[in-house]
Amino acid sequence: MSSAIDTPVPSAAETTHYALWAVFRRDPHAAAGDSSAPSLADAAAGVSSLRGVYDVSGLRADADILLWLTGTTADGLQADLRTLRRSAELAPLLPTWNALGVHRDAEFSRDHSPAYARGLPPLGWVTVYPFVRSYEWYVLPAAERGEMLAEHGLKGREYPQVQSNTVASFALGDYEWLLALEADDPIDLVDLMRHLRATEARRHVREEVPFFTGRLLALDEVAEVVR
């Protein structure tokens, strides 16, 4: 779904790339925060995995902030998330949704690697969602699946301004795949998702919710969002 999707990057094949998303919401009954807790900016300075913090407030009733972490080990991301959660801004919040994935060969192209694994910087907006294929999908003839995925990929290439990040999550949670699409204009996310509905592969999606969509924040903007 990005012009860079089909560009092989050798280093991506040599390194394991994990991604962790964590969504939080305000707690209306939260007690006064710990005055000794570090700020989110100070906590983030101690980790290297934070790709972005996003304002997802208003788009759903159960979400205010989305964190996106990337790294080479799952336990490292878990530790970094704990560090960030202890910050003054995040400690009073309640968890809404979490998902962990890892880059494996994509269904549609062995050369595909996530935008974050290729070192591309985050764009202004992201939408994150899981999906689960139909029960029939994995036992269909490979050629038949290949035709459907090729059609899907060609439609995605019509939106080169959108960066795609697909990771596998089999056994890491309730889903098979996790997808984060990035764009500087949220309209591009709307139009791309609608465009991809008109494909045969769409018939083989069993689950594709929840969606979390939001704007990339500077760390000093977070306090206002969760106030």
Active-site choice (18, 129, 159, 175): 129
Please indicate whether residue 18 is annotated as part of the active site: no
CA distance 129 to 131: 7
Nearest CA among 68, 42, 71, 45 for reference residue 55 = 68
Backbone angles phi, psi at 47, to 5 degrees: -130, 150
- Tokens 């309640």, located at residue: 94
Residues labelled as active-site residues: 129
